[in-house]
Each structure stands twice: as structure tokens, then as C-alpha cells.
Amino acid sequence: MTDTARLIAKFKLSFGVTGIRNAFGSALWFGLTLLIGLIRVMGNLPERLLCATIEFWTDLMAATTWQGRLLGCGLLLGLATLPNWAGASLLPMMISVLWFAYVGQAWNILAGFVGQFSLGHALFVGVGAYLAGGTMVYVGGGPGFGLGLGLGLVVAAALGAAIGALGFRKGMGVNHFALLTVVAVELARLCFTQFDGLRLGIGRALPPSRLLILTPTHFYYIILALTVLLLLFCRILVRSRLGRAWLALREAPIAAAATGINVFRAKLAAVMISAAFCAVAGAFQAISVQIQAAPALDPGRVFSFTGSVEIALGVIVGGTGTLVGPLLGALVLTPFGEGLNLLAARTGHGMLELKPLCYGLILVLVEFLRPAGLWPWLGQRLRLVPGGDLAEGGRR
């Protein structure tokens, strides 16, 4: 109970109230006391939940300035009400932005927290998409989708574990794993184009999922919920025992191993978690193909190096290893990418190379000017977050 009391004191501090001096404060105090009484009756779990919530709140207050809070609230409000005021062209774009924010967050678990850069996350996304799509074709509709989603999670995690088992051996640096992931994506592309076992391979259009009669608004809220939940989950994850182990072995692998962390197993857990979340994104892609421009899964496009880089690039621009980075990167980069796509479509085939060219240029510039990414720096410059020491650090 002392923990809770300490947290409540912290909570009050975050309001700038040191004593119970005004009506608001005493009402709050009374309410909290009542709540704690209830919790004492109800048991341990709600108490821990409350502690977590209060801790989250106080940390949020400590990590933002009032401008930051204002902007955050505005952003949240805007995102929550977006389908009501956005036009027909903005909504698909925002779905795309949130999709990249989600996948970027999943990629960030491995690259940001553990420091193992994967250039093959298109593999996990593609596996999720193909398994969900395949079961929707063969089993049909809702149950098929559920089955495919579950299958995709398991298969993607297993593939991630297999790549990790080869690439996380002792003495292997960043390069080894990155090379393995590049090769793995290429292998998947080859398998899907040449051995078309699922009969889904070469650009076959998925049927519009009849049992899932969903509009773009539904898709928007689904992906928004997924993104927010993953963000919260990542925050919990990075503060858990496992997350602390990841940060430790990212900063000093030898010291981390010396403190008793099983480095290999911790990395394996990271790649499996990351891959499983990516599979969810893939399944989302499979059910939302009906509202996209090209309503088909094309293995050449799904399992591509460029696709993997696109997943990673948002986070690299936004800020690798931060929680805000993936969202910021997706907000900046995805509209830019869509604009380039539009330009390529307008001007014909001549501009097809423009997008990879620009992405390559962005990658080079970011690595040269600001390898840690935009987030902590931009936030401090705009006074959204207080300067100096930041909670989650970012990539070193």
C-alpha cells in the first residue's frame, strides 16, 4: 500500500498541488481515498492497474511541456474524429499513415530496443497477409480470417525465430542479421512466384470479403486502435524485465551478458514479438485490399527489399528507439511517398524510379545529419518535451 501512497503523492505533485488547499484538490483526494478503499476490498489486480495508470499519467506529465500536452490532445482528438470531417481522399491516406506507424512500431521493437536492424520485415507482413488472404479464400469470411490471423501470428513468429536462431549467434554483429533478413525476403518472393502452392501467388485478386462488410471508416478505426494499443504495449514492454534486458544488451552486450541476461534468448523474444505484430498488420492489409488501389496481393510487391526499407524508413526518420518516432515518421513520410506515387502515376512510367531514389536520398541524409532521427530533437526544439534527459533515450 505504501507504493500506492507514494504514487498518489507523485500524482498530486504533477498537478502542482503540494497540499490539499482547494475544493478541487480535496474532491480529488476524497475520490482517490474512496477508490483505494474499493480496491482494498477488490484485491490486488485493480490496484496494480491503478498504479500503472497513475504512473503512466505522472510520467506523461513529467515528459511533456504544456505545449506538448496541448498538441497531443489536439492530435488525439483530431485522429479520433477524423472520419467525420476528412474527405474521401484523406481517409485512405490516414489509414496508410497509421498502418506504417503500426508496422514501424513493431519494427522498432527489434531495431530500436534491441539494436538489431532487420531489412526484411516485409517477410512477416507478407506472411500474415497471405495466410489471412488464403484462409479467407479457402475457408471463407470471418472464421477463415480469424484462423488465418492466428496462423499468421504463429508462422511469422516461427520464421522470425528461425532467422534469429541463425543470426544471433555469439560474435555476430549487426551486419550478419541484416544480411540474413534480406536473403529471407528474397527466398519468400522466390517461393511465392515459382511454387504457387496456395494458388494465390501471381497477382491473384483476393475476393472482397463478403462476411466482413467494412467501410473505410471501419478500417480507419481498426488501424487506429491497433496503433494506439501497440504504442501502449510497447511502453509496457520496454519497462518490463525483458525490455530492460533489451536496452541493456543494446548498450553493452558484454556487460548485459555478465549480469546474467541470456542475450540470445532475449533477442529471440524480440524478433518473435516483432514478427507477430507485423503479421497482424499483414492480415489487416489482406482484408483492406478491397479499398486499396490494386486489390491483389502481388508477391513481387509484397516481398520486396524496397517494401522492407519503406517499413523501416519511417522509424529511422522519426527516431529509432523512441515511442513517438514511428508515428512521427509515418506522419512525415507516408504523405510524401503517396505524393511520389501520385506523381509517378500522372507522368507515366518515366518516374517509376523516383520513389526509391528519394527514399535512398532521405536515408543517406538522415544518417549523415541526424542518425538518431527527428523525435527527441524536434520535440525539444518545438518545446513539446522538456530538454535534457529523456526517458527512453533513442538509438546510440
Instruction: Point out which residues bind other proteins (CB under 8 A).
Output: 111, 115, 117, 119, 166, 169-176, 178-180, 182-183, 186-187, 190-191, 194-195, 305-306, 309, 316, 349-350, 353-357, 359-368, 371, 395-396
Q: How far is the CB of 394 from other proteins (least distance, A)?
A: 10
Q: Which of 334, 286, 355, 340 is nearest to 92 (CA)?
A: 334
Q: How far is the CB of 188 from other proteins (least distance, A)?
A: 10
Whichever of 17 and 354 has its CB closer to other proteins, that residue is: 354
Q: Shortest approach of other proteins to residue 309 CB, angstroms?
A: 6
Nearer to other proteins by Cβ, of 8 and 309: the residue is 309
Look at residue 146 and give its three-state secondary structure.
Answer: helix
DSSP letters spanning 125-145: HHHHHHHHHHHIIIIIHHHHH
DSSP state of 351: G
Minimum distance from residue 171 beta carbon to other proteins (Å) = 4
Rounded CA gap, 149 and 127, in Å?
Answer: 10
Q: Which residue, 45 or 258, has its beta carbon nearer to other proteins?
A: 258
Q: Which is closer to other proteins, CB of 144 or CB of 160?
A: 160
The least distance separating other proteins from the CB of residue 178, rounded to whole angstroms, comes to: 6
Q: What angle do CA 16, 17, 23 make, to 5 degrees?
A: 130
Please identify, using beta-carbon distances, which residue of 191 and 378 lies nearer to other proteins: 191
Q: Residue 157 and residue 128: Cα distance in Å, rounded?
A: 10
Q: Which residues pair with 296 in a beta bridge?
A: 205
Q: Which is nearer to other proteins, 139 or 351 (CB)?
A: 351
Query: Residue 115 Cβ, how far from other proteins at the closest point, in Å?
Result: 7
Residue given cell 497477382 in the structure block = 203
Distances (CA, A) of 365 to 351, 358, 360: 21, 10, 9
Q: Give CA angle at 336 (333, 337), nearest 5°.
A: 85
Minimum CB–partner distance for residue 119 and other proteins (Å): 7
Q: Which three cell numbers stand for residue 142?
A: 470471418
- Is-contact 101 163, C-beta < 8 A? no
Residue closer to other proteins by CB (options 166, 228) is: 166
d(Cα 256, Cα 249) in Å, to the nearest integer?
5
